[in-house]
């Protein structure tokens, strides 16, 4: 019979291997894919800016800087960065005002391709956040399964404590007391 300690060791070993494969092999490729998508939308923005009258220079410069910033921040987007950012933005009123000002300036441009580039930039950053947070799921999923199992176990035991001996045969005939 396998001991609990052996099972725990095996589970943590498997989780470590999954984490290594994800962080060391899969995640760098995913991040590179995101970078290439951002390079492509930056090129689209530059092409759009080359069309006379499509967008003004201020809007181009702002979105161009934001896309460049997105390219450089991809590896660092995770739950800790999100938490730090939320705390900072909550207490730094000047930063909040600068962000709101930028959003208003970007909203002024009604060109559909410009807005599409903004939308793709936001989507890529969202996906990067999920990808960088991926290793957490290797640890949270087993924990969630244990919590669910313990909850079901508690309900089962609670319900079994309320079943009369005469009702046992409905659930499992082998649980019926032997007749003498």
Collect the ranges in the chain with pLDDT lower than 50.
Answer: 180
179 found inside a domain: no
26 found inside a domain: yes
Q: Is 63 exposed, middle or buried (0-12, 13-18, 19+ CB in 10 A)?
A: buried
**pLDDT for position 148:** 83
d(CA 67, CA 54): 18
Owning domain of residue 29: 10-139
Each residue's pLDDT tens digit, 92-125: 999 999 999 999 999 998 899 999 999 999 999 9
121 found inside a domain: yes
Domains in the chain, number: 1
148 found inside a domain: no
**pLDDT for position 30:** 96
The C-alpha torsion from 130 through 92 and 107 to 112, rounded to 10°, is: -20
């Amino acid at each position: 019979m396998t001991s609990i300690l052996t099972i725990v060791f095996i589970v943590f070993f498997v989780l470590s291997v999954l984490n290594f494969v994800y962080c060391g092999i899969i995640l760098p490729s995913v991040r590179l894919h995101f970078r290439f998508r951002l390079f492509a939308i930056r090129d689209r923005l530059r092409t759009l800016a080359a069309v006379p009258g499509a967008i003004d220079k201020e809007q181009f410069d702002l979105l161009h800087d934001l896309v460049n910033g997105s390219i450089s921040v991809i590896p660092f987007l995770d739950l800790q960065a999100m938490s730090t950012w939320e705390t900072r933005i909550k207490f730094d009123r000047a930063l909040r005002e600068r962000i709101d000002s930028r959003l208003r300036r970007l909203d002024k441009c009604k060109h559909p391709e410009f807005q599409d580039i903004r939308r793709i930039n936001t989507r890529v950053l969202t996906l990067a956040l999920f990808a960088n947070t991926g290793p957490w799921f290797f640890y949270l999923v087993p924990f969630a399964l244990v919590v669910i199992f313990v909850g079901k176990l508690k309900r089962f035991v609670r319900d079994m404590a309320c079943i009369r001996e005469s009702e046992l045969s409905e659930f499992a005939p082998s649980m019926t007391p032997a007749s003498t």
